[in-house]
Structure 1
Amino acid sequence: MKIFIDANILVAVVNKEYPLYTYAARVLSWATAQRYQLVTTSVCFAITFYFAEKKHGNKIAKERIALLANHFIIADCGSEEVQQAAADKSINDFEDGLQYFAAVRAGCSCIVTENVSDFYFSTIEVLTAIGFLKSYYPMGKRLK
């Protein structure tokens, strides 16, 4: 299973932003242990770096991004995704359109994001971190 991880999940993990960090980190660690493939784009890493650098400085931000990137497939987010996002009249947020088309092209089964409503146009499953855990993690039904 390929899971697309949106920038807000990555930011929560890199910056240890509670309470989301607890669930976001569990999604990444459990999915990796299950040999699911984690997918994101260079755009998501750029967004994550921006917020990590503001909080931790350049050196630590780069180290954290490099460590995290080892566990991800970096999906293409090039001219095809730009054209699709620009042409789709149902998409209001261009950046979300880029992420969506990159996820679809990479063959992802779902998108994990805290902004589920931003992907109202999605034809693939869109879940919050806790929603993903409730659906896929064996003990997820116990989460509040």
Structure 2
Amino acid sequence: MKVFLDANVIISVLNKEYPLFPISSRVLSLADRREVQLYTSPICLAIAFYFSEKKSGAEIAKLKIEMLSKKISMTTVDQAVSNQALSNRQVQDFEDGLEYYSALGSDCELIVTEDSDGFYYSQIPMMGCEKFLEEYIF
């Protein structure tokens, strides 16, 4: 199963943000399972780096992103993805649109996010970390 992780999930792990951290870290630990392929976009990594840098400093934030990049596959954000996000009138948040269309472009079957309102137009399922673990893992 190909699962796209939104920036808010990654940020919660990198910054150990409670109460989500114990659940979101379990989601990220699935990167070691063969039946689950975790994806994110370079934009999500940039957003996560920004928030991690604010909390831990640039050097530690970079190390965290490097470790994460070894475990998670990257989607592509290119002109086609940009055009899709811009042409869909339902997309209110351009960044969410980029994430959505990059996930679709990588054939992701699910989006894990703590901001499901941002993807209300999604044609693929989306859910929070806890629901994802309950429905697909446990």
> What TM-score does the superposition give when structure 2 sets the normalisation length?
0.97
Does 2:25 correspond to 1:11? no
Q: Which amino acid aligns with 1:114?
A: E
Q: Which amino acid aligns with 1:83?
A: N
Contact in 2 for aligned 1:52/1:61 (Cα 8 Å): yes
| Partner Cα distance (2:10, 2:72) in 1 | 11
Q: Indicate the SS of the match to 1:122.
A: coil
- TM superposition shift of 1:35: 3.7
Contact in 1 for aligned 2:31/2:71 (Cα 8 Å): no
Contact in 1 for aligned 2:112/2:127 (Cα 8 Å): yes
Identity %: 42
> What TM-score does the superposition give when structure 1 sets the normalisation length?
0.93
Runs of 4+ in 1 over 4 A off after TM superposition: none
Give runs of aligned pairs for residues 89-108 of structure 1, distance below 5 A.
89-108=89-108
In structure 1, the partner of 2:137 is 137
Q: Indicate the SS of the match to 1:70.
A: helix
In structure 2, the partner of 1:141 is none
Structure 2, unaligned runs of 5 or more? none
Does 2:41 correspond to 1:41? yes
In structure 1, the partner of 2:74 is 74
In structure 2, the partner of 1:118 is 118
Contact in 2 for aligned 1:32/1:38 (Cα 8 Å): no
Contact in 1 for aligned 2:31/2:72 (Cα 8 Å): no
Number of equivalences: 138
Q: Which amino acid aligns with 1:15?
A: N
Q: Which amino acid aligns with 1:124?
A: I
| Partner Cα distance (1:93, 1:58) in 2 | 27
Structure 1, unaligned runs of 5 or more? 139-144
- TM superposition shift of 1:19: 0.9
Q: Indicate the SS of the match to 1:111.
A: strand
